[in-house]
Structure 1
Amino acid sequence: MPKFDLGAAWDDSMVLLKSHIALTSTVAAVFLFLPTLAVSWFGPVPIEPADTATFEQIMTAARTSAMQAAPYQVLVSVIAAIGGVGILRLWLSRTGTSVGDALVFALKMVPTMIAIQLILGVGLGLGAVLLIMPGIAAGGGAISVLLLFVGGIALVAILLYLWGRLAVISPALTDKTLYNPIAAIQTSWQLTRGNGWRICLFLFLVTLVVLIVAIMLGGVVAIVAGTGEGVGRILTGLVEASVAAVSGLVTTAIVAATYRQLASGDGKDIFS
């Protein structure tokens, strides 16, 4: 397999972002911006433990907040996935397609996307158990801590590698109309052979930049308006939704550009 070119992929992602800009921006606004904004404004408010709370009370509050937010986050993720596949359909279609047709296609792909997430989730869960269990089974002490540390490092490394190897599942199933989740996973695995770490680095660098920008904007809003109810929550929601929309659109362009390059060898002779 040819080596993945990060620079070429970035340039191509910028080209994709400029194409169909009005249509893709509208889809991103509806499927990425608005759902995140709605949850930020009207969803459950995270529980803030008292200043004198113990560690156990803090963890209990965090678990409760996570459980309350989980259904909303799942719904937002599904809606975002529909929007993402719709945008990919607009970008990767060789014959051209309308927004309506792209979104109908994305809706048809929802069962496949859910199945892919379940397969990967179960697989990663089992892998995590296998890596962590030796440390737990050791029963405490220095050996147990060492085994848990090694298992944790191994798990992080595997997750990062899989991030790169499975990065083009969505563009692959979109371009090839793969309703079979296993076929979509296999296609991504084949296309990214020999480039897993390079693709992971590419995605990591972009994610890091997005994270830094989000933290900076969130910090500015917290200083200006606070994080409580009222203006603070309104502004925080707008920032979160804007970051979600922009980062989602950029990430979609990046995985699409990565797929274009890997599927064609140089990314210049297809999907034009």
Structure 2
Amino acid sequence: MGIRETEDNMATKLDLGRAWNEAMALLSANKDVVLIVAAVFFFLPNVIATLVLPSQDALMMQMEALGDQPSPEEMMAVFGDYFSQSWWIYIVFGLVQAVGVMGLLALLTDSSRPTVGEALGFGVKALVPYLVAQILFGLIMVAVPFLLMAIGGLIGIGVAALLAFVGMILAVYIWIKFSLISPVIAIEKVMNPISALARSWQLTKGNSFRLLAFYALLVICVMVLWLVVSMVLSLFSVMGEEIGLFAMAIGSGLMSMAFSTVMLLVLAAIHRQLTGTDGEPVSKTFE
């Protein structure tokens, strides 16, 4: 990438309205294939996970049984027992959804017009770089506030609380800066995890507050919608525990599928705009 192109990318100011319209246009042009892939990789794993994973109600009951001031050792024992029964399920479904993320982005944005099989094949190929980049991203996001809080703890409780707050702000900032990892890998085919992190950081330069506002608005909308959906789904519990659980599984699966799909489309549209390719027409994947 040349210096001139880099400077142009750095100078690009994100138009949130255009990014949203671009995401919806991408969805409208490819709604059939998006629905199929999203159902297989986002909806079904969430439904199955809800039905087969140990009940979180049981976890909450165990936590409440520990009393008002449980020791860290007791809490770790409860969480350890819970996840020891289901850790492999989380890993399997996480891998499946990661392939879906990479495959769907490639399917919708690759100019070579790949088939669904080819796009998912790329998803498998990009799985390791994507996971490594996500792990590095997670470690950085956790390490920064933890380090600040530890430093503050050496000074005093007040300083520790202040630095913990600063650390939380920095964690959110880091999350925003690395939010374009998936489109960088899937669209630009950057298979080096560290290069993907650096590229995401570069693309978001000058747009952090815009992205924060955009992501926050999406999350708030989803939270409000999920609250309404949960209230409706809770009505099924009067028909029996199993019916209530099945209804909750279907509802949470649909919500997860919708949010994951829209978020991926939004990320693709943001990446498209910040890389200067948003002038290209949005066409159907299969014509």
Alignment partner of 1:264 is 2:259: no
Any residues of structure 2 matched to 1:179-190 within 5 Å, and which?
179-190=191-202
Q: Structure 1 residues 119, 264: closer, same or farther in 2, change over 3 A?
A: same
Query: For the residues of structure 1 that align with 2:240 and 2:136, how far apart are their CA atoms?
Result: 39
Alpha-carbon shift at residue 39 of structure 1 (Å): 0.8
Q: Which one-letter code corresponds to 1:199 in the other structure? A: L
Where does residue 92 of structure 2 map in the other structure?
75
- Between the aligned residues of both structures, percent identity stands at 25
The answer as to whether partners of 1:165 and 1:195 remain within 8 angstroms in 2 is no
Within a 5 Å distance, the mapping from 1:182-221 to structure 2 comes to: 182-221=194-233
Cα-to-partner distance string for 1:53-86 (whole Å, 9 max, x where unaligned): 6122995656644564544333322211211111
1:150 alignment partner, one of 154, 162, 168? 162
The answer to whether the 8 Å contact 1:169/1:185 transfers is yes
Question: 1:121: Cα distance to partner?
Answer: 2.4
Match of 1:10 among 16, 20, 41: 20
Contact 2:38 2:261 in 1 (8 A): yes
Residue by residue over 1:138-192, the C-alpha shift from the partner in whole angstroms, topping out at 9 and shown as x without a partner, is 4xxxx40x22321222122112212221121111111121111111111111111
**Other structure's SS at 1:49 match:** helix
CA root-mean-square deviation: 2.4
Give yes or no for contact 2:177–2:208 (8 Å, CA) kept in 1: yes
Instruction: Identify the range of structure 1 (122-131 vs 84-93) with the bigger mean alpha-carbon deviation.
Output: 122-131
Structure 1 counterpart of 2:280, which letter? D
Runs of 5+ consecutive residues of structure 2 not aligned to the other structure: 1-10
Go from structure 1 to structure 2 and tell me whether the alpha carbon gap of 1:15 and 1:175 turns closer, same or farther (over 3 Å shift): same
Q: How does 1:155-194 map to 2 (within 5 A)?
A: 155-194=167-206
The equivalent residue for 1:126 is 143
1:219 to partner: Cα distance:
2.3
Distance 2:178 2:161 in 1: 25
- Asked whether the 8 Å contact 2:14–2:274 carries over to 1, the reply is yes
**Structure 1, unaligned stretches of length 5 or more?**
none
Tell me by how many angstroms 1:128 deviates: 2.6
Q: How many residue pairs end up in the alignment? A: 266
The separation in 1 between residues aligned to 2:127 and 2:219, in whole angstroms, is 25
